[in-house]
Amino acid sequence: MTWQLKLFMAPLAGITNRVFRSLVREYGADYTCTEMVSVQGVIHRNRKTFSLLDLQKEEKAGIQLFGRNPEDFIKAFQVIEKKIKPQFIDINMGCPVPKIVKGGMGAALLREPHLAEKIVKTLVGEVKIPVSVKIRLGWDPEEKTGEEVALRCQEAGASWITVHGRTRDQFYSGNADWEGIAAIKKILEIPVVANGDVFSARDALDLSLTTGCRRIMVARGALGNPWIFEQIRRLEKGEEIFPPGKEEIMEAVKKHLEGLICLRGSEKRAVTEMRKHLGWYIKGFPGAREVRNNLVRMEKASEVQELLATYLAQVEKG
């Protein structure tokens, strides 16, 4: 079987800034996207919202927007296109977070298929770049509207649909329903991006085989593991894959940390933000908890890199 997968990095709140996007691109991700951005925040020129629109001129990436009023998406994009030139717009209809769904946004739109369709149709009619949509299988097991919403979004002009194989009530618990994704793929003519429970290269290929999708999205599986994309590529070719060694981990951490220092303009802020990532980089290693506890007290990049290098050398020695 010829795979030739297109690999997507999921937009993750507090994670997928331009530094992280650059890192996963380097390791083989084809598509990246900003974290979720409020159309209302853009319209009102909210400083924090604007900070999420951190695409560089040469970067080919999309922006993910969330909202409820179709016209707000147009107004927001009119503001955005004066600032940056995204490769595509992704509309979030899958976020399960209570503060989002209480406002009738994110996964709440799965309960209003007509409105979901209107949002896509309105935006597609006004912009010249692809518009995609991210959905879930439905609100809950009794209200699985994913197929209807996907069909309506296709009819409205969406270029592709990303399907997270869970319902809203699951949040991120349990197992993703890959067969549910396959069912949506079967009824659509536009491409479907399969998303859910890709934590290894083998998971990615199994997800593709189960769903028939040639577009695969990686989310939590890339945390502390940017080389998962490279490993998927290798496995596609039938090549053997190995876990990253000390040098590879240190190289990724160095690029990540140095990038954050440039982005934040403060070494202390960057190191503080990097702590969660460092925890993911060494997750599952012996003695990782003690290392994480030591990292909390550090404010300098040199201290972090020295501690990590010493620790990883010890791990390699066994």
Task: Give the phi and the psi of residue 160 in degrees, each rounded to 5.
Answer: -160, 165
Mean pLDDT score of the chain: 95
User: What CATH class does 246-317 carry?
Assistant: mainly alpha
Tell me which amino acid residue 226 is: P
DSSP-based three-state secondary structure for 93:
strand
Q: Tell me the pTM.
A: 0.95
Every domain range in the chain assigned CATH 1.10.1200.80: 246-317
Task: Give the phi and the psi of residue 163 in degrees, each rounded to 5.
Answer: -120, 115
DSSP-based three-state secondary structure for 233:
helix
95 noted as active-site residue = yes
Q: At what angle do helices 301-317 and 267-281 cross, to 10 degrees?
A: 20
Closest of 127, 138, 284, 202 to residue 119, by C-alpha: 127
- Which pLDDT value is given to residue 32? 97
Chain centroid to CA 254: how far?
A: 22
- Which pLDDT value is given to residue 298? 87
Q: Which CATH number fits domain 6-236: 3.30.1360.30, 3.20.20.70, 3.40.190.10, 3.30.300.130?
A: 3.20.20.70
* Model pLDDT for residues 266-304, shown as the tens digit of each residue: 999 999 999 999 999 999 889 888 988 888 888 899 999
- Which pLDDT value is given to residue 3? 65
| Contact between residue 257 and residue 304 where contact means Cβ atoms under 8 Å apart | yes
- Which pLDDT value is given to residue 295? 85
Closest of 177, 273, 263, 165 to residue 219, by C-alpha: 165
Could you tell me the two tokens for 261?
A: 């220092």
| Contact between residue 27 and residue 256 where contact means Cβ atoms under 8 Å apart | no
Q: Catalytic: which of 33, 95, 153, 213?
A: 95
Residue segments in the chain with a per-residue pLDDT below the cut of 50: none
Every domain range in the chain assigned CATH 3.20.20.70: 6-236
